[in-house]
Amino acid sequence: MSVLPSPSRSVVESLVRDSLSRQLGRSLPYQDAPVLVANSSARHMHISPENLAILFGDGAKLTVHKWLYQEGQFASEQTVTLIGPRKRIIPNLRILGPERTLTQIELAFTDSIQLGIDLPVKMSGDIEGTPGGYVMGPKGILEMKNGIIRAARHVHMSPGDAKFYGVKHLDKITLKVTSSGCATRFDDLLVRVDPSFKLEVHMDTDEANACDLERATRVELSVS
Amino acid sequence: MSVLPSPSRSVVESLVRDSLSRQLGRSLPYQDAPVLVANSSARHMHISPENLAILFGDGAKLTVHKWLYQEGQFASEQTVTLIGPRKRIIPNLRILGPERTLTQIELAFTDSIQLGIDLPVKMSGDIEGTPGGYVMGPKGILEMKNGIIRAARHVHMSPGDAKFYGVKHLDKITLKVTSSGCATRFDDLLVRVDPSFKLEVHMDTDEANACDLERATRVELSVS
């Protein structure tokens, strides 16, 4: 598996008009239907400026490797090595920018099995009681007391999109993926609403592999 | 990820009575409801006696490492190394017994990304046009012209179970997995009916990781 979000991620665009017309019992004009994008996130790290300084030296800044779909978000050129409690390692773990207030590492279950840790499913930012580890950068080692999670599958959306789907922040919704031989409905998709968000589903690489997201022919959000 | 079917597989038993009662519109006596088991299959190989002789020497036999849920099936003590077309390898690939007429390797997409091959989703045995590779054993190397697949998710069942669910051989059905934070419905679950089969869903490790099968609290089959 690549550690880069870019090669392992897959962008599938699909109009949701048909299914929503069925749900709403009326046809929708084309411009009403938001375009849904579903992407997989490979394992990655978010980092605070203080922790970045420990790993990459005073005054270090994240530099852009590749822009992501959400405005202002990017895969940085900076990577680190994660050392788990059983001394197994995950090399080339990529940091996503920009810097945040909270340092956090998001892995798939496959990664956690390799690392030998028990990974909880958490919403981004909800890191109390989660496992920690050591992170090695070119200028130093950071001890994370906690902050290693499997990010709960989620969908970013604007308040307008939320109104369209009839959901609110932290509701759960279903993503239906149509894919040859492995059609899958992901329930428990957490809705995250913010005016800055573009409509985008984030799943991890295990989920993307389970439904063959890369070759999926259709993705739809559904409230049932 | 472990290469052993045993440690990475998870057995979840769940009575399907409630959901079937809803579907059938009547309550079912306890003894009517078959017990459903869902297991994940780690990557593995099936092998013909001729190919086993190439890899392990004339007269070699598979020996039992661990019995599996289906009658007479076992994880053998024999493992091989798979060499992909790009010279990347998967070591310690376990052979399942008993021997079959057809040699075949079943991988998850995560494995295929590591190996650098494009993996088709196929029903077991349907290997025409699928990728091949080299397999290295202690006594020789086997060239597989084809036979590397992602096995389509499927459920084994007896004719009695098929009648109970109202399905027939090669129908598709849905597996609903209830799991904290990652509830998932696997559509496209292929029904395989044989008098020798015990009721059991087989998914691969990507699918099991996507829904956290190991910690799932309930598995149900549904025709919708």
Give the distance from residue B6's alpha carbon to the nearest chain A alpha carbon, in angstroms: 14
Q: Mean pLDDT, 10 residues at a time, over chain B (224 residues)?
A: 33 44 53 84 97 98 97 97 91 97 96 92 93 96 96 97 96 97 97 97 97 96 85
Biggest CA-to-CA distance, chain A: 60
Lowest mean pLDDT among A18-27, A154-163, B28-37: A18-27
Rounded Cα–Cα distance for residues B3 and B69 (Å): 18
pLDDT surpasses 60 at A10: no
| A17 or B42, greater pLDDT | B42
Q: Where are the alpha helices (DSSP H) in A57-204?
A: 109-115, 159-165
pLDDT surpasses 90 at A28: no
Identify which of A109, A183, A209 has the shortest CB distance to residue B109: A209
A-chain residues within 8 Å CB-CB of B1? Answer: 110, 113-114
Threshold 0.90, pTM exceeds: no
The A residues from 104 to 123 touching B (CB cutoff 8 Å) are: 108-110, 113-114, 121-122
What amino acid occupies position B106?
E
pLDDT band per the 50, 70, 90 thresholds, residue A34: confident
- Inspect the interface and report whether the beta carbons of B185 and A187 lie closer than 8 Å: yes
Instruction: Give the pLDDT mean for A18-34.
Output: 56
Considering chain A, what percentage of its residues have pLDDT values greater than 70? 85
Per-residue confidence (pLDDT) for residue A30, from 0 to 100:
44
Per-residue confidence (pLDDT) for residue B30, from 0 to 100:
44
Pairing assessment for the beta strands B148-151 and B104-106 based on DSSP bridges: parallel
Tens-place pLDDT, residues A43-58: 999 999 999 999 999 9
Tell me if chain B has a CB within 8 Å of the CB of A170.
no
Per-residue confidence (pLDDT) for residue A21, from 0 to 100:
52
Q: What is the mean pLDDT of chain A?
A: 88
Rounded Cα–Cα distance for residues B51 and B29 (Å): 49
Give the distance from residue B188's alpha carbon to the nearest chain A alpha carbon, in angstroms: 6
Per-residue confidence (pLDDT) for residue B33, from 0 to 100:
67
Q: Which of A223, A200, A222, A224 is nearest to A40 (CA)?
A: A200
Tens-place pLDDT, residues A99-125: 999 999 999 999 999 899 999 999 999
Per-residue confidence (pLDDT) for residue A33, from 0 to 100:
67
User: Minimal Cα distance from B175: which residue of A?
Assistant: A184
Residues in CB range of B143: below 8 A, 6 or more apart:
B132, B134
Per-residue confidence (pLDDT) for residue B20, from 0 to 100:
52
Q: Where are the alpha helices (DSSP H) in B133-204?
A: 159-165
Per-residue confidence (pLDDT) for residue A4, from 0 to 100:
35
Instruction: Give the pLDDT mean for A152-158.
Output: 97
B-chain residues within 8 Å CB-CB of A207? Answer: 182, 210
Rounded (5°) CA angle B117-B38-A175: 65
Rounded Cα–Cα distance for residues B108 and B206 (Å): 6
Residues in CB range of B173: below 8 A, 6 or more apart:
B155, B165, B167, B189, B191, B221, B222, B223
Q: Judge whether B148 and B131 are in contact, CB under 8 Å.
A: yes
pLDDT surpasses 80 at A221: yes
Tell me if chain B has a CB within 8 Å of the CB of A219.
no
Q: First-to-last CA distance in chain B?
A: 33
Give the distance from residue A189's alpha carbon to the nearest chain B alpha carbon, in angstroms: 8
Tell me if chain A has a CB within 8 Å of the CB of B55.
no
